[in-house]
A and B are shown apart, each in its own frame.
Chain A
Amino acid sequence: MARRDGWALWIGVAATLATLVVVFYYPVGRVFADAVAVDGRLTLAPLRAVLGDPFYTGAAHTLFIDPAAVPSGIARWLAAGAPPVEFGLFGFTAYQALLSTLVSVLVGLPGAYVLARFEFPGRRFLRSVTIIPFVLPSILVAVGFLAMFGRTGLFNDLLGIVGLGPVELTFTLEIVVLAHAFYNAPLVTRLVTAAWESVDADRVETARTLGASPLRAFRDVILPQLLPALATAAVLTFVFTFMSFPIVLALGGLELATVEVWLFARVQSLDLTEAATLGAIETALSLGLLYVYLRYEARRTEPGGASRGLSRRPLVDGIRSLVDPLRVAIFAYSAVALVLFAGPLVSLVIESITTPAGQLTLDYYAFLLARQASTAAGTVRPFPAVVNSLLFGVGTLLLSIPMGVVVAVVATRGDRGSRAAEALLTAPLAVSGIVLGLGMLQALVFGTTLFGYRLTVTGPVAIVAAHAVAAYPFVSRSVTPALRSIDDRLGEAARSLGADRTRVLTDVELPLVAPALVAGAAFAFAISVGEFDSTVLLSTGVDSATMPVALERYVGDRSLGPNLGPATAMGTVLLAVTTVSFVLIDRVGGRWE
């Protein structure tokens, strides 16, 4: 049927590719170009400067400046009794990503077990809300973690009640890793739960009738289906936390800087070549990891469609079940999950209306209003930030929905289409917001000379473009399965009844993908409202500051004393706007999953 698609799809594809080239591939390409060229001449000097610097690569730097000395260096290290080695900024970044992945898997796996194997009221709801952390603005979560686990936070209050504490978690690796788990453990839970639910009960029962014990059946039948999902979740978590920015910036500071934070600091001090080099190395690493992973995933075969899922046990089955060790463990896990996931958000709201001494106060919201009324230069005012966020969100929708739909349509066209679409959708995941922001700064904001004209894209347009690049994969990932599940016969039936290709789209295909499209739109909007990384680089001055950018400014604001008041107040506003928009978009269209 390809020949009947007509020109509309091809125009859409061309427009989408052109947009991606201008706002994604060209800017990111510029970052790479800046890393290997100085004054227009190819050179490895910037790469060698970074990789050969012990600050960045630690003990591994010899590998890049004097490879011949590596064997003797290793020999000396072994002779010294193999003392601990440092691998510099890259080493630390990978280390914290590894820790974060480990903790995310540890926190996420029991959740998958409970959701997949037990029945209880609210299970479906809980399964749905595991997507929420993913769309929460990261800077908001960082402030929530400060409010929860800070010296005067809720966590220490709770510890105080049972006579423990206080513990100081601010600016520690632990809080950074916990915040990363907040984001990525739900990802582990979602992916593994889905895999677990797709296990065919017939296969497990076949194994049992052939003589396998329950444990053996788990190992032989269920586990092989869970491992690929777990691998997917772990790789994605590693890539995400390797490139993590606002969490580390707000919770770790420069003490615990990762490549991304350092890159940001380089841009701020206008050391753009070093920033570009860092960005290029970082992007190459994460792209490489995703590529290896996708190759692996392409080779594994999908299990056939499950005819019947495993049956669930009731979580609470009479009073006696409450003392069953397994149940006790599950309840303990639930308590930990509650502290980790609900704690930061609840603390955020509580801290915004209480003083450090515990009295109710509205001072922090009054502070926001005062900022609004302030005429001092350089003041980020809250109200324009809200308006900016909403406007950019709408702009992001206008750009990312058509792009996402076009890519989804391409993805449903057989093997070649789906592989091309997969590449298009995965690339933005591997490029951090900071690198994209840097590229857009270099290529679009500072301008590019083309055919003798100086082309510049600035301010809001550049921000919306960066948001759209981050958001359109979510539209595609939501729409593609819906589009794929539409039976070709429906379109053919409509054609035989007299509808032309366009009417098939409007009468049959669009109504059937509408719920998925709305869900994708809700995500795109939430991504835009919460985006911090590229926005903080691209929002020049205070005019195009968004809510997350304003929030970050208020974190350091000490005008009301050493507390998080202004930040938590702004965070609560951001939380409210994000939630209301998400729910609003969702209600208009129906369901999200």
Chain B
Amino acid sequence: MTGADGGVDVENLTVTFGDVEALVDVSLSIDDGEFFTLVGPSGCGKTTLLRTVAGLETPTAGRVRIDGRDATDEPPEDRGVGVVFQNYALFPHMTARENVAYGLQFHDLPEPDDQRVGELLDLVDLAGVADREPDQLSGGQQQRIALARALAPKPDVLLLDEPLSALDASLRKRLRVQIRSIQRDLDITTVYVTHDQAEALAISDRVAVVRDGRIEQVGTPEDVYREPATRFVAEFVGDNNVFDGVVTEAGDRIAVDGTATLPLPNGTDLTAGASATVSVRPEAISIRDRERAQTDGDGSAVDGPGGTAVTRSATVETVEYLGDAYRVHCQWDDRPVTVKTDSTSPPEGTVTLGFEPDAVHVLSNGKPDTGAGGGR
């Protein structure tokens, strides 16, 4: 997966600051026109990766290729990248229009500069405030001017570093839709950095989950959500219930601790006695009142063979109302289990949890997915 035209390739990239390793041997291949998101907790190295692609940090080892050429030693002004920073970094002594026009003097575009600036102001719907200074613009307007400024010189790659994190929640959702639709229209390769996993899932073609300077998993949002490669990904992307245990003699179950067991999905190939980690999404678990569960016997451990629902008895601890659903925090023996239910009233007391064996997902026992570079 190297040398994709119009895309970005990062090969064995290591970046250190003094004694701190911000990135360790990271390889990624981003396709032409792809919307690629780096997501991870703060301090994981995702912003460093973006800044290294932009030429704002110097790698200790490894190469950066942009549009097929080796850009590792190019200064930022020669890379053909447009960057939008978290705090927008608009030039405070220039109007919005002058900000957007600034990069054009360094690039020869076929159309006149005025026309190009006009196009971009229209693109972000801000022609009306073009002659204001940045401090007279709202946060959302500043963010869109920063986007227009980055796009004006027609860069090969658009780099966005947490561009929405300073905005309020509803504006953030509206703007991410706008950014995605502009990106599709322009068909521009885009690298987007965020700590918000929901945002990452919502707008990306593919996502890379970054942790401690390493890539944990690369894949489509669906892959990453449904098939998390590691425990970290399973817990970082969306809510999840993760259980550690040992594969039973028969090889079709996992003993979580002592007596409690969970079934493994069909087709799992694990040796008996091996330790394993499994996850079950909260929305894959149904929750029923104790009384109704009585029909399934005592309700403590009924596992139907092959595809029949699994049930477990649990007690409700706290309930969060989400508007369209309830998130219910239960105790299954002494293990916390989170369940998401769309029932119309909050469950309480002792309940029965149920889920299909196929809802159980086996994780690769916590090890990073080292072969993630080309995973599509």
| Segment at the B interface, from A12-20, A74-82, A361-369, A496-504 | A496-504
B77 and A498: CB pair below 8 A? yes
Tell me which residues from 42 to 92 in chain B have a Cβ below 8 Å from any Cβ of chain A.
Answer: 51, 54-56, 58, 75-77, 79, 81-83, 85, 87, 89, 91-92
Alpha-carbon distance between A490 and B83 when the two chains are bound, in angstroms: 11
Which chain B residues lie closer than 8 Å to A1 at the CB level?
56
B92 and A492: CB pair below 8 A? no
Least CB distance, B155 to chain A, in whole angstroms: 8
B75 and A4: CB pair below 8 A? yes
Q: For the complex, is B335 an interface residue (Cβ under 8 Å from A)?
A: no
Q: For the complex, is A487 an interface residue (Cβ under 8 Å from B)?
A: yes
| Segment at the B interface, from A46-54, A295-303, A507-515, A532-540 | A507-515
Given contacts A3-B58, A4-B75, A492-B56, A497 and B103 within 8 Å (CB-CB): yes
B92 and A507: CB pair below 8 A? no
Listed residue (A490, A493, A498) with the most chain B CB atoms within 10 angstroms of its CB: A493
Q: For the complex, is A553 an interface residue (Cβ under 8 Å from B)?
A: no
Partner of B77, one of A499, A507, A508, A511: A499
Partner of B107, one of A494, A498, A507: A498
Alpha-carbon distance between A503 and B146 when the two chains are bound, in angstroms: 19
Alpha-carbon distance between A487 and B85 when the two chains are bound, in angstroms: 11
Nearest A-chain residue to B57, judged by Cβ = A1
Alpha-carbon distance between A494 and B54 when the two chains are bound, in angstroms: 12
Q: For the complex, is B326 an interface residue (Cβ under 8 Å from A)?
A: no
A495 and B75: CB pair below 8 A? yes
Q: For the complex, is A489 an interface residue (Cβ under 8 Å from B)?
A: yes
Partner of A495, one of B56, B91, B105, B159: B56
A492 and B87: CB pair below 8 A? no
B92 and A495: CB pair below 8 A? no
B102 and A500: CB pair below 8 A? no
Q: Tell me what chain A mostly uses at the interface: helix, strand, loop, or mixed.
A: helix
Given contacts A495-B76, A496-B54, A499-B106, A511 and B83 within 8 Å (CB-CB): no
A497 and B91: CB pair below 8 A? no
Tell me which residues from 455 to 491 in chain A have a Cβ below 8 Å from any Cβ of chain B.
Answer: 487, 489-490
Alpha-carbon distance between A511 and B75 when the two chains are bound, in angstroms: 23
Given contacts A496-B77, A497-B103, A498-B153, A487 and B89 within 8 Å (CB-CB): yes
Partner of A496, one of B83, B92, B105: B83
Tell me which residues from 295 to 333 in chain B have a Cβ below 8 Å from any Cβ of chain A.
Answer: none
A498 and B106: CB pair below 8 A? yes
A497 and B149: CB pair below 8 A? yes
Partner of A500, one of B75, B87, B92: B75
* Cβ proximity bits B86-129 to A, threshold 8 Å, 1 near / 0 not: 01010111000000001101110000000000000000000000
Given contacts A489-B89, A512-B93, A498 and B56 within 8 Å (CB-CB): no
Alpha-carbon distance between A499 and B152 when the two chains are bound, in angstroms: 14
Alpha-carbon distance between A508 and B91 when the two chains are bound, in angstroms: 7
Nearest A-chain residue to B87, judged by Cβ = A489
Alpha-carbon distance between A508 and B94 when the two chains are bound, in angstroms: 9
Q: For the complex, is B150 an interface residue (Cβ under 8 Å from A)?
A: yes
B102 and A494: CB pair below 8 A? yes
Chain B residues touching A, range: 20 to 34
Partner of B89, one of A490, A498, A500, A507: A490
B77 and A493: CB pair below 8 A? no
Alpha-carbon distance between A500 and B55 when the two chains are bound, in angstroms: 12
Least CB distance, B158 to chain A, in whole angstroms: 10
Which chain A residues lie closer than 8 Å to B91 at the CB level?
490, 493-494, 507-508
Alpha-carbon distance between A4 and B56 when the two chains are bound, in angstroms: 10
Least CB distance, A149 to chain B, in whole angstroms: 48
Alpha-carbon distance between A492 and B54 when the two chains are bound, in angstroms: 9
Alpha-carbon distance between A495 and B89 when the two chains are bound, in angstroms: 12
Which chain A residues lie closer than 8 Å to B81 at the CB level?
496
Alpha-carbon distance between A490 and B93 when the two chains are bound, in angstroms: 11
B102 and A497: CB pair below 8 A? yes
* Cβ proximity bits B167-204 to A, threshold 8 Å, 1 near / 0 not: 00000000000000000000000000000000000000
Given contacts A497-B77, A499-B77, A500-B77, A492 and B149 within 8 Å (CB-CB): no
A507 and B83: CB pair below 8 A? no
* Cβ proximity bits A508-535 to B, threshold 8 Å, 1 near / 0 not: 1001100000000000000000000000
Listed residue (B58, B77, B92) with the most chain A CB atoms within 10 angstroms of its CB: B77
Nearest B-chain residue to A501, judged by Cβ = B75
Nearest B-chain residue to A489, judged by Cβ = B89
Nearest A-chain residue to B106, judged by Cβ = A498
B77 and A495: CB pair below 8 A? yes
Alpha-carbon distance between A497 and B58 when the two chains are bound, in angstroms: 18
Listed residue (B76, B91, B150) with the most chain A CB atoms within 10 angstroms of its CB: B76
A512 and B92: CB pair below 8 A? yes
Tell me which residues from 9 to 63 in chain B have a Cβ below 8 Å from any Cβ of chain A.
Answer: 51, 54-56, 58
A495 and B107: CB pair below 8 A? no
A492 and B102: CB pair below 8 A? no
Least CB distance, A475 to chain B, in whole angstroms: 21
Least CB distance, B236 to chain A, in whole angstroms: 27
Least CB distance, B67 to chain A, in whole angstroms: 15
Which chain B residues lie closer than 8 Å to A489 at the CB level?
85, 87, 89
Least CB distance, B148 to chain A, in whole angstroms: 12
Nearest B-chain residue to A3, judged by Cβ = B58
Alpha-carbon distance between A507 and B93 when the two chains are bound, in angstroms: 10
Partner of B76, one of A3, A487, A492, A511: A492
Which chain A residues lie closer than 8 Å to B87 at the CB level?
487, 489
* Cβ proximity bits A55-71 to B, threshold 8 Å, 1 near / 0 not: 00000000000000000
A-B contact pairs, 10 of them (CB 8 A): A4-B75, A492-B89, A495-B56, A496-B54, A496-B81, A497-B77, A497-B153, A498-B77, A498-B153, A512-B92
Q: Which 7 A-B pairs have the closest CB atoms?
A: A498-B106, A497-B103, A489-B89, A495-B76, A496-B83, A493-B89, A489-B85
Chain A residues engaging chain B, CB cutoff 8 angstroms: 1, 3-4, 487, 489-490, 492-500, 503, 507-508, 511-512
- Other than the given A496-B55, A507-B91, A508-B91, 16 more pairs (CB < 8 A) read A487-B87, A487-B89, A489-B85, A493-B85, A493-B149, A494-B91, A495-B76, A495-B77, A496-B77, A497-B77, A497-B149, A497-B153, A498-B106, A499-B102, A499-B103, A512-B93
